[in-house]
Amino acid sequence: MAANDNNSLIFNCVVTDGMGMYSELDFPNHPKWPAKMHAGSLNATIDRSGFPAALEKIKHDGYGVQKLDSKTFAPLFTIKQEDIGNNSLGPTSYNPERGTAQIWACHVSAPSASIEFNAWAVRRIGSAYSNVIEIMSDKHLRKTYGLKNDMPIIVKLYAGEQDGTAEQQQQPAQTGWRAKLKNILG
């Protein structure tokens, strides 16, 4: 696993079928992501040994990505629970922020298939899922990039205002028909 710095967390994952109801959630517009997001998300299930060591240092009840609910690893922005249509994950007296979405810019790569793209990782505070990263985009990610179940992917979350643009620009230029098609499709 690649090393993490204070501004990013790297997870080794595999693509899996949807587990929640993200296709039914209605996320509002926000200036830090596209005006029209694709309904649903790409589910990235984190390998047992695919969690970054830095995640264990976050002091918060819970396991795995539940530790992100502490907001110690700052999201790019948040969306309040009541602003997300069809969001059944609601606040409780124990957790008044339950259901609020935290959004991080992320970089996704599938090295075995020479695929890489930027997107947004979304986690609703209080979600029971501890080993799944929900990845959203304005594109249907499976169709656009040919992602299949059990395909290994690396997901890098960026803290706060980091957006992953510099990371993608540092990648070596791809050549050949696959790279040209990827550039055309976005």
Question: What would the pLDDT profile of 90-99 be if each residue is shown by its tens digit?
Answer: 999 999 999 9
Residue 61 one-letter amino acid? D
Q: 20 near 40, Cβ under 8 Å?
A: no
| pTM summary value | 0.84
Q: 117 near 167, Cβ under 8 Å?
A: no
Average pLDDT of the chain is 87
Per-residue pLDDT tens digits for 105-150: 999 999 999 999 999 999 999 999 999 999 999 999 999 999 999 9
pLDDT value at position 163? 59
Looking at domain 8-185, its CATH superfamily turns out to be Riboflavin kinase-like (2.40.30.30)
Residue ranges of domains in the chain: 8-185
Count of positions (residues) in the chain: 186
* Cα 24 to Cα 109: distance, rounded to the nearest angstrom: 26
Q: 22 near 119, Cβ under 8 Å?
A: no
pLDDT value at position 164? 56
